[in-house]
Structure 1
Amino acid sequence: MRQGSTTLELEATRERVLDAAEELYYGRGVQAVGMDAVRTASGVSLKRLYQLYPSKAALVEAYLRRRDARLLDGLARYVEAAPGPPEERVAAVFDWLYEWFSEPDYRGCAFINSYGELGATTPEVAAAARAHKEAFQRYLAGLVEAADLPAALAAQLALLAEGAITTAAISGTPEPARQARAAARVLMDAARGAVGPPL
């Protein structure tokens, strides 16, 4: 019984640390936040923090991996709930982006931000950022295939989404998601050889 409770306590401690890291890293930037700040925000001793994550790079990687899983899961749940034909699920990706961009604490893509700060010097961060972008494009590829559209469209849609993510962060408005959605409709219509009204 004690072993099980110890495992649960360890998992709860990990979650507290990752919650604190996510809030601090996403809100302030990775380089601006030291391990002391994560310790203080999480209420975990520095010794325990380093037992869980032996380096800042290990903590940043864990934060990014968890964020990846949560973002892609949230996106998939949102998209699967979209009514209509499969093309509407592609469009729903951009509706989800609009909602994300509208959140008051939106600061752009955590993966792009972290890569920009540490990607050149921290292979773990670069790998986590690449893995996330690849997983996102694979997800889009599945939607494209389900809509019976050309496979090459997935990379084009990913570029639209990435551009919208960055532009929304810089401009401070969610409108790039709507613009990217309209562009996605143009691409889908062109792929089908048809011209239709914007989504």
Structure 2
Amino acid sequence: MVVPVPELAPLTPGATRVLEAASRLFYERGIHAVGVDTIAEAAGVTKKTLYDRFGSKEALVVSYLQHRDARWRAHVAEHLAAASAPGTTRVLAVFDAAISWSDENSPKGCSAINARAEIGDGHDGHPIFPEVARQKSWLFELFVELCTAAGVADAESMAQAMMLLYEGAIVTVGMETFARPFEVARRLAGEMLERELV
């Protein structure tokens, strides 16, 4: 199985600067706390350039989430490629990917969860909600595929457990409740898989 990495439209140099600045600022400060003036200034472009390239702040937020997701999927794909034989190792490779990703890329937790927390219940037609839902659905389906390939009898239930461990760990990273939550989640995931496959 190959992890599909979303095809994203190429960006102009100005759009790239805007997206890089926005991505840093949105993650560090929050979406509502960062205005388009701040983003444009950090990117060294005019507000007109920002709107010409992205259309709206909401579209820029969606692009930020999509580009982070593409980088994350590529990172997961590398870990799965290194654990090529089907089995528990491939399921746990998702946690290994998260361990190596989180310190550098997600010290404040999951960008998708953080964005979702800022937009309310998601029933107002805001474009962020479907993007966040798409990312989380993809991860769940990946766990289903990996658990199925590993020979888990009830792959969907196990995938639900893996998803809960993963999501609990990424929230714990952001909350700094205790150290190294993904290592704890990986150990528990391994124990669950081992009991299931004995």
Give the TM-score normalised by structure 2: 0.85
Change (3 A) 1:181 1:106: same
Say whether 1:156 aligns with 2:157: no
Kept after mapping to 2: 8 A contact 1:78/1:96: yes
Closer/same/farther in 2, CA of residues 136 and 119 from structure 1, 3 Å limit:
farther
The 3 A distance-change label for structure 1 pair 156 and 94 is same
Q: In the alignment, is residue 140 of structure 1 matched against residue 153 of structure 2?
A: no
1:110 equivalenced with 2:114 (yes/no): no
Counterpart in the other structure of 2:38: 37
1:170 corresponds in structure 2 to 175
**Cα distance change of structure 1 residues 88 and 76 upon mapping to structure 2, 3 Å threshold:** same
TM superposition outliers: structure 1 runs of 4+ over 6 Å: none
Tell me the CA shift for residue 34 of structure 1.
0.3
Q: Percent identity?
A: 35
Offset, 1:170: 1.0
Partner residue, 2:22: 21
Q: What amino acid is aligned across from residue 168 of structure 2 in structure 1?
A: G
Query: Aligned pair 1:181/2:186, yes or no?
Result: yes
Shift of 1:43: 1.4
In the other structure, the counterpart of 2:128 is 125
| SS in structure 2 of the partner of residue 131 of structure 1 | helix
Match of 1:4 in 2: none
One-letter amino acid of the counterpart of residue 97, structure 1: A
CA distance in 1, matches of 2:58, 2:196: 42
Q: What SS is found at the alignment partner of 1:103?
A: helix
- TM-fit CA distance, 1:85: 5.3
Measured after TM superposition, the shift of residue 12 of structure 1 is 2.3
2:86–2:149 contact (8 Å) kept in structure 1: no
Change (3 A) 1:104 1:114: closer
TM-score of the superposition, structure 1-length normalised? 0.84
Q: Which runs of 5+ in 2 are unaligned?
A: 1-8
> CA 1:189 to 1:104, structure 2 compared with 1: closer, same or farther past 3 Å?
closer
Q: In structure 1, what is the Cα distance between the partners aligned to 2:155 and 2:113?
A: 25
The answer to whether the 8 A contact 1:27-1:105 is kept is no
Q: Which amino acid aligns with 2:77?
A: A
Greater Rg by CA: 1
Q: Report matched runs for 1:79-98 at 5 Å.
A: 79-82=80-83, 86-98=87-99
Distance 2:167 2:128 in 1: 18
How large is the RMSD of aligned CA atoms in angstroms? 2.2
1:171, distance to aligned residue in structure 2 (A): 1.4
CA shift digits 1:116-147 (9 cap, x unpaired): 01243562111111011011112222221221
